[in-house]
Amino acid sequence: MANNTVTVSGERGSAASPIQSTRKRWWRWLSGDMILAFLVLLPSIIAVAIFIYGFIGWTFYISMSDWKSSIPDFTFVGLKNWTRLVNDRRFQMDMRNHLFYAIGFIGQCIVIGFTLATLLDQKIKGEGLFRTLFIFPFAVSGIVTGVTWQWLMQPSTGINLIFAKLGMGWFRPTWHANIEYGIWAVSIAAAWQFSGYVMALYLAGLRGIPAELREAAAIDGAGTWALYRYIIIPLLMPVTFTVFVLTGMNSIRIFDVVAALGGPGPGNSIDSLALNMFQTTFGAYRFSLGAAIGSVMMFLAIFLVVPYLMSMQRETER
Amino acid sequence: MSGTEGMSRRSFLRLLGVGTTMTVLAACAPAAAPAADAPAADAAAPAADATVADAGKLEIFSWWTAGGEVEGLNNMFEIYKRDYPDVEIINAALAAQGAGQGGEMKALLETRMIGGDPPESFQVHLGRELIDSHVVADRMEPLDDLYASEGYNDIFPADLMSVILYDGHPWSVPVNIHRSNLMWYRPSKLEAIGADAPPANWDEFFTMADALKEQGLPGIALSGTGGNGHTMESVILSVFGAEDWPKLFDGTIGWDDPRMTQALEIMNRLYDYAQPDYLSQSGADVNDVMMADDGPLLMISGDWLHGYFKSKEFTDYTWAASPGTESTYLLLSDSFGLPKGVKNRDNAVNWLKVCGSKEGQDAFNPIKGSIPARTDADPSLYDEYQLWAMEQWKTQTLVGSLQHGAAAKQSFLLDYDLALNDMVATRDVAATQAALVVAAEEAAFGQ
Amino acid sequence: MSVQRLWTRGAIYLVLVAFALYYAMPIYVLIITGLKPYKDVSMLRMWELPQGLYFDSFTTAWGLVSPNFRTSVMITIPAALISSMIGSINGYVFAKWRFRGADTLFILFLVGMFLPYQGILIPLVLTLQKLSLYGTLAGLILTHCIFGIPITALLFRGYYASIPNELMDAGKIDGCGFFGLYRHILLPISMPAFAVVLLWQFTTIWNDYLIGLVVLSNPVQAPVMVAVKNTAGSFSVDWNVQMSAALIAAAPTVIVYLLLGKLFMRGLLAGALKG
């Protein structure tokens, strides 16, 4: 088993080393083209600098000011809004909700997406039909997803009615209305919409793995489990990386589904930062507090996701 | 490599195919082309051609997009078009349902206001919602001249004028009146427990609800995800009465008052008599719960419920003032104001005249299900509920609703809703009251 | 062995069918609700088939959403195409021309994907006003292209990174420069990546609600999703009409998926990747 690992990573390693050398060669030969590459990227850099980092900076600046009515007030008040925010019960619930939601959503997307892709990769009759059906929800907007699942997750009807018909009447969850676990139900609705797309990404990744590699593994006597554990899953790391970024993004920005499911929910049980920010800003005209919530979303991305992205990217390239 | 090239050519064809399909679909659209510079509204406001653009435009923001509301609004547009045929009306309507209290519409209006590009007029709840969101920010023109020339001061009831005026000036024209403190109850359920009249106060209700509970029936329809603020304001009104109600919002009576504790305790007890799955039901879902065979005795809702029941051909219901609020009319009103710096001020003023006119109000209200703010409406146009309400409107004490923007500013309303939203989960009266006290302090009532 | 194989195959199909039901269930509710007349729509009887077919709600819904449908087409097609092209060239640079700091820059781009749109509406509007693009389709297309830069760069970079550098070296030897390598080596085999990115951008932009609404400054000219939501009143919702409108609004993304889906899957198997 250990041999397999060495062989595979050895192969990948030998494929990777020429990249390093080519990079150096190109730098020497084509430094003019290297400048050209930068120039081609420059408009995007400027656009991102203004529309993304400029706006982040603007938002952060507002969060330190005293704008709390419809009259803009840019008096600097330091961390006043931030102190208020961290002591706010709704905000504390939001952080808990995002943690649970992220675990549930990312987990479901990766597990369901990978499983279905693997199954569909077994020369299935009617693969096209299954694939179309699986990815269909991705075409449906978040609001519609939320509204539909709000019906499906009614305790007295919807899915519970099906459970009852199947003789499982004892199983009657309250879904998104549950004050403790409601947020997990939200992640089910959201994963319904997104997991099909993840399946498609994994399937494309699987199809990109050369048949020779699988054959070689089979000759080495590797079983199905070993094949996946030591060859396929590591080779799919770049796909997993992309999936993680996409689902992580969704976990931080989740808004539509929560709003349509009746967010913030009893006791803010299914609230999200984006919904909180939107209501705080435009529902209560607390612009500075809303900006602080928006900044928190960005910091979450920067402090939690970026280090992970970087390590993951390094691993992908090794 | 050649295979790849063929592949990509096919792919391009496919892409082209997508484009063509889209264009064909788009071409099938029946209405006139709503390009960015020549927008067309729905059937009510077809795109005007270039020759009439000279009289300018009239852009009206509202959240009336469906139900009887959009027809009522269109009726008013018809009057406007008859009188000012050269003006192009842009019906900028955006549904208020969704991310809480019409969040998207407010977001849009706010960005337009901050960007210095207000619409000619926009729908806003009469009272503090208008005042604290726009008047104090110096964005609105006072309407004293209009009120004088159109005689509104005499035609709107005096109690209503006290809601309209801020700083001694009127800032918007109310087009309709809804009532918040209504109880919708089912005679069949009263019969089931042998009662012959609906509860006159909350004590009576609890007695009846206990009797229903023995039969396994809920007493009241509540929502776990919104709408409790509406029920709660009727409870608060029943405890404080019409005279003390406004004092909660001018700093005279604190929210730590023992009577508020009493009101919260009533509310907290109501949850014990709600339908079983109320926690997962939104305000709109609750309307359906009310119609179910095993539904509750009553629900507290505004008078828009009447139109909903009628449209569903539901008949087992009637109405009365919510328990303990017999002689008070807890009102909410949609109104239109005049922002500063609009492009076509004359068009906007003419619109406000239509909104305030007897003809305009009689065109809008019968179909909307509300009653006119004016006291001289034509009774033959209205249904049995509206006639009842118009009688009450003339004789009862009028106070402004909290839940619907009349009594307090937006930020307080959000805090109030969130406090109640917490109470559904915690069922903790003391903590809820403490949160309300903090919210009232921040709202700085009376300052 | 073959008996065991039969069991395995059976189990696989069973799981696939179960998931097919899971994905189809909400769609079923959407469709049958759209086919019911208003008075028969009730949360409590959601699974029941309609008594007869009523297409009225589809007709009503089409009448309500069609002008905005057209606007959405006019925004989504150019925005998705342009942002995919930008993404392609950016992904090329990030994958194959790693100048000093390119990787850091890439991570900085990625952070942009987490930007909460709800919080940047006011700066966005003020900036577009300064550029005289506020309230215009061009302004909205620009906005979508800019906010699409991170995601498109990510997807294309991933794809181009999987293309062997030997291919690039060969092109180099044939005398290709920066653009030549892109034009002659990468672009011809980029179709699968374009399919993935176009599908993503098309869906995201088509399903966008808030940015389109606020940037176009008026619900009348807003994208179709706003019109879908506008089929609801403030105190009640005609679910049948709203569900029909939602299905109409979802149709283009479904069509695009059906057309691009095969390409998206088949493409990765074809061409120079193996060869």
Give residue-wise pLDDT tens across range C94-150: 988 888 888 889 988 988 888 888 888 889 988 999 999 999 999 999 999 999 999
Confidence class of residue C236 from pLDDT cuts 50, 70 and 90? low
Closest chain B residue to C258, measured at CA: B18
Angstroms from C234 CA to nearest CA on chain A = 14
Residue A1 to residue A221: CA distance in whole angstroms: 9
**pLDDT higher than threshold 60 for residue C77:** yes
Q: Which of B110, B285, B425 shows the shortest C-beta gap to A266?
A: B425
Q: Which of C77, C118, C216 shows the shortest C-beta gap to B36?
A: C216
Burial class (CB in 10 A: 0-12, 13-18, 19+), C56: middle
| Amino acid code (one letter) for C193 | A
Cα dist. A68→A288, B107, B118, C18, C117 in Å? 6, 15, 21, 51, 20
Residues C178, C70 within the same domain = yes
Cα dist. B311→B68, B260, B285, C38 in Å? 10, 37, 15, 8
Spell out a b/e string for C173-199, using b for 16 or more CB atoms within 10 Å of the CB, else e.
eeebebeebbeebbbbbbbbbbbbbbb
Question: Which residues from chain C sit within 8 angstroms of residue B307, using beta carbons?
Answer: 236
For residue B236, the model assigns a pLDDT of 98
* Residue recorded with tokens 């295979």: B3
* Chain A positions with Cβ closer than 8 Å to B: 68-72, 89-90, 143, 150, 153-156, 174-179, 255, 259-269, 275, 278-286
The answer to whether A291 and A59 are in contact (CB under 8 A) is yes
Residue range A281-312, pLDDT digits in tens: 988 889 999 999 999 998 888 887 777 777 76
For residue A14, the model assigns a pLDDT of 36
Reported pTM = 0.86
Burial class (CB in 10 A: 0-12, 13-18, 19+), B303: buried
CATH number, residue A155: 1.10.3720.10
Residues C151, C103 within the same domain = yes
List of residues 6+ apart from C91 with CB closer than 8 A: C152, C153, C154, C155, C156, C157, C158, C159, C160, C193
Spell out a b/e string for A171-201, using b for 16 or more CB atoms within 10 Å of the CB, else e.
eeebbbbbbebbbbbbbbbbbbbbbbbbbbb
- Count the residues in chain B: 447
Closest chain B residue to C271, measured at CA: B4
The answer to whether C59 and B28 are in contact (CB under 8 A) is no
- Specify the pairing of strand B182-185 against strand B318-321: antiparallel
Residues C21, C88 within the same domain = no
Sheet holding B182-185, edge to edge: B298-300, B182-185, B318-321
Q: Which of A89, A264, A279 shows the shortest C-beta gap to B103?
A: A279
- Specify the pairing of strand B397-400 against strand B298-300: unpaired
Of residues A156 and B7, more confidence is placed in A156
For residue B280, the model assigns a pLDDT of 82
Residues C18, C148 within the same domain = no
Residues C50, C155 within the same domain = no
User: Is residue B439 one of the residues assigned to a domain?
Assistant: yes
A144:C30 CB<8 A: yes
Percentage of chain B modeled with pLDDT above 90: 68
User: Is residue B27 one of the residues assigned to a domain?
Assistant: no
Confidence class of residue C5 from pLDDT cuts 50, 70 and 90? confident
Residues B275, B308 within the same domain = yes
Tell me how many domains chain B contains.
Answer: 2
Beta strands in B49-113, from DSSP E residues, in sequence order: 57-62, 88-93
Residue range B216-255, pLDDT digits in tens: 999 999 988 776 899 999 999 999 999 999 999 999 999 9
Confidence class of residue C188 from pLDDT cuts 50, 70 and 90? confident
B39:C137 CB<8 A: no
The answer to whether B59 and C225 are in contact (CB under 8 A) is no
Q: What is the mean pLDDT of residues B202-220?
A: 96
Residues C19, C129 within the same domain = no
Q: Which of A115, A152, A208 shows the shortest C-beta gap to C273?
A: A208
Token code pair at residue B221: 């329809």
User: Is residue B21 one of the residues assigned to a domain?
Assistant: no
Provide the domain limits for residue C105. 64-273
Beta strands in C9-136, from DSSP E residues, in sequence order: none
Residues B67, B211 within the same domain = no
Chosen for mutation from B279, B415, B427, B432 (greatest number of chain A CBs closer than 10 Å) is B279
Residue A81 to residue A65: CA distance in whole angstroms: 8
**pLDDT higher than threshold 90 for residue C78:** yes
Provide the domain limits for residue A263. 89-317
Question: Which residues from chain C sit within 8 angstroms of residue B30, using beta carbons?
Answer: 62-63, 66
Closest chain B residue to A267, measured at CA: B422
User: Is residue C153 one of the residues assigned to a domain?
Assistant: yes
Tell me how many domains chain A contains.
Answer: 1
Residue C172 to residue A26: CA distance in whole angstroms: 9
Q: How many CB pairs under 8 A join A and C?
A: 251
List of residues 6+ apart from A199 with CB closer than 8 A: A112, A113, A114, A116, A117, A120, A131, A134, A135
Residues C46, C70 within the same domain = no
List of residues 6+ apart from C167 with CB closer than 8 A: C185, C272
Residue C171 to residue C182: CA distance in whole angstroms: 10
Q: What share of chain B is helix, strand, coil (3-state, %, to 5)?
A: 50, 15, 35
Q: What is the mean pLDDT of residues A104-114?
A: 97
Residues B128, B201 within the same domain = no
For residue C36, the model assigns a pLDDT of 87
* Bridge partners for B165 per DSSP: B170
- Specify the pairing of strand B178-179 against strand B182-185: unpaired
**pLDDT higher than threshold 90 for residue C264:** no
Residues C86, C207 within the same domain = yes
Residues B156, B243 within the same domain = no
Judged by CB atoms within 8 Å, which residues 177-236 of C form the interface with B?
188-189, 191, 194-195, 198, 209-210, 213-214, 216-222, 226, 229-236
**pLDDT higher than threshold 60 for residue A69:** yes
User: Is residue B9 one of the residues assigned to a domain?
Assistant: no
Residues B307, B422 within the same domain = yes
**Residue A23 half-sphere exposure, CB side, CA atoms within 13 Å?**
14
DSSP B88: E
DSSP C39: G
List of residues 6+ apart from A77 with CB closer than 8 A: A64, A65, A66, A288
Q: What is the mean pLDDT of residues B267-282?
A: 91
Q: What is the mean pLDDT of residues A232-246?
A: 87
Chains that touch C (3 or more CB pairs under 8 A): A, B
Q: Give the domain-ending residue among C15, C36, C54.
A: C54
Least confident among A78-82, A141-145, B359-363, B418-422: A141-145
For residue B38, the model assigns a pLDDT of 37
Residues B195, B174 within the same domain = no
Q: Does C220 touch chain A (CB under 8 A)?
A: no
Residue B271 to residue C211: CA distance in whole angstroms: 39
Chosen for mutation from C70, C76, C137, C141 (greatest number of chain B CBs closer than 10 Å) is C70
Residues C221, C157 within the same domain = yes
Confidence class of residue C266 from pLDDT cuts 50, 70 and 90? low
The answer to whether C97 and A234 are in contact (CB under 8 A) is no
Burial class (CB in 10 A: 0-12, 13-18, 19+), C228: buried
Residue range B166-189, pLDDT digits in tens: 999 999 999 999 999 999 999 999
Residue C133 to residue C145: CA distance in whole angstroms: 14
List of residues 6+ apart from A174 with CB closer than 8 A: A155, A182, B277, B279, B280
Confidence class of residue B429 from pLDDT cuts 50, 70 and 90? very high
SS3 B92: strand
Question: Which residues from chain B sit within 8 angstroms of residue C118, using beta carbons?
Answer: 107
User: Is residue A171 one of the residues assigned to a domain?
Assistant: yes
Q: How many CB pairs under 8 A join A and B?
A: 113
User: Is residue A22 one of the residues assigned to a domain?
Assistant: no
DSSP B32: P
Residue A131 to residue A151: CA distance in whole angstroms: 25
Chosen for mutation from C234, C244, C255, C262 (greatest number of chain B CBs closer than 10 Å) is C234
| Amino acid code (one letter) for A83 | T
Question: Which residues from chain C sit within 8 angstroms of residue B291, using beta carbons?
Answer: 42
Chains that touch A (3 or more CB pairs under 8 A): B, C
Q: What is the mean pLDDT of residues B103-124?
A: 88
User: Is residue B318 one of the residues assigned to a domain?
Assistant: yes
**pLDDT higher than threshold 80 for residue A253:** yes
Closest chain B residue to C226, measured at CA: B94
C23:A59 CB<8 A: no
Q: What is the mean pLDDT of residues A198-209?
A: 84
For residue B207, the model assigns a pLDDT of 96
Residues B236, B373 within the same domain = no
Q: Which of C121, C209, C220 shows the shortest C-beta gap to B41?
A: C220
For residue A313, the model assigns a pLDDT of 67
Judged by CB atoms within 8 Å, which residues 105-124 of C form the interface with A?
105, 107-120, 122-124
List of residues 6+ apart from A235 with CB closer than 8 A: A205, A209, A213
Q: Does A56 touch chain C (CB under 8 A)?
A: yes
Confidence class of residue C33 from pLDDT cuts 50, 70 and 90? confident
Residue B357 to residue B186: CA distance in whole angstroms: 37
Residue B208 to residue B193: CA distance in whole angstroms: 7
List of residues 6+ apart from B223 with CB closer than 8 A: B278, B281, B282, B283, B285, B286
**pLDDT higher than threshold 80 for residue C232:** no
For residue A48, the model assigns a pLDDT of 95
User: Is residue C118 one of the residues assigned to a domain?
Assistant: yes
For residue C235, the model assigns a pLDDT of 66
Residue A118 to residue C32: CA distance in whole angstroms: 32
Residues B414, B392 within the same domain = no
For residue C85, the model assigns a pLDDT of 95
SS3 B326: coil
Chosen for mutation from C13, C16, C126, C173 (greatest number of chain A CBs closer than 10 Å) is C16
Q: How far apart are the first and last CA of chain B?
A: 78
The answer to whether A142 and A193 are in contact (CB under 8 A) is yes
Question: Which residues from chain B sit within 8 angstroms of residue C267, using beta carbons?
Answer: 7, 11
Q: Does C131 touch chain A (CB under 8 A)?
A: no
Residues B319, B336 within the same domain = no
| Amino acid code (one letter) for A252 | I
Residues B210, B312 within the same domain = yes
**pLDDT higher than threshold 50 for residue A1:** no
User: Is residue B186 one of the residues assigned to a domain?
Assistant: yes
Confidence class of residue B102 from pLDDT cuts 50, 70 and 90? low
Residues C180, C208 within the same domain = yes
Q: Which of C129, C218, C263 shows the shortest C-beta gap to B92?
A: C218
Residues B391, B249 within the same domain = no
Residue range B135-168, pLDDT digits in tens: 999 999 999 999 999 999 999 999 899 899 999 9
For residue B52, the model assigns a pLDDT of 43
Question: Which residues from chain B sit within 8 angstroms of residue A283, using beta carbons?
Answer: 100-101, 103, 106, 410, 414
User: Is residue A57 one of the residues assigned to a domain?
Assistant: no
User: Is residue C59 one of the residues assigned to a domain?
Assistant: no
Question: Which residues from chain C sit within 8 angstroms of residue B286, using beta carbons?
Answer: none
Residue C272 to residue C275: CA distance in whole angstroms: 5
Chosen for mutation from A12, A29, A40 (greatest number of chain C CBs closer than 10 Å) is A40
Residues C38, C76 within the same domain = no
Q: Which of A69, A71, A265 shows the shortest C-beta gap to B225?
A: A265
Residues C181, C239 within the same domain = yes
Q: What is the mean pLDDT of residues B313-339?
A: 95
Q: What is the mean pLDDT of residues B430-444?
A: 96
Question: Which residues from chain A sit within 8 angstroms of residue B426, using beta carbons?
Answer: 267
User: Is residue A4 one of the residues assigned to a domain?
Assistant: no
List of residues 6+ apart from B125 with CB closer than 8 A: B332, B333, B334, B335, B404, B405, B406
Residue range B386-402, pLDDT digits in tens: 999 999 998 999 999 99
User: Is residue B282 one of the residues assigned to a domain?
Assistant: yes
CATH number, residue B296: 3.40.190.10
Chosen for mutation from C90, C118, C141 (greatest number of chain A CBs closer than 10 Å) is C118
Q: What's chain B's average pLDDT? A: 86
Q: Does C261 touch chain B (CB under 8 A)?
A: no
Residues B194, B266 within the same domain = yes
Of residues C179 and B35, more confidence is placed in C179
Percentage of chain C modeled with pLDDT above 90: 30
Provide the domain limits for residue B236. 182-324+409-443
Give the best-scoring range by mean pLDDT among A217-226, A275-284, B28-37, B426-435: B426-435
User: Is residue A235 one of the residues assigned to a domain?
Assistant: yes
List of residues 6+ apart from B108 with CB closer than 8 A: B61, B94, C213, C214, C217, C219
Q: What is the mean pLDDT of residues C39-63?
A: 82
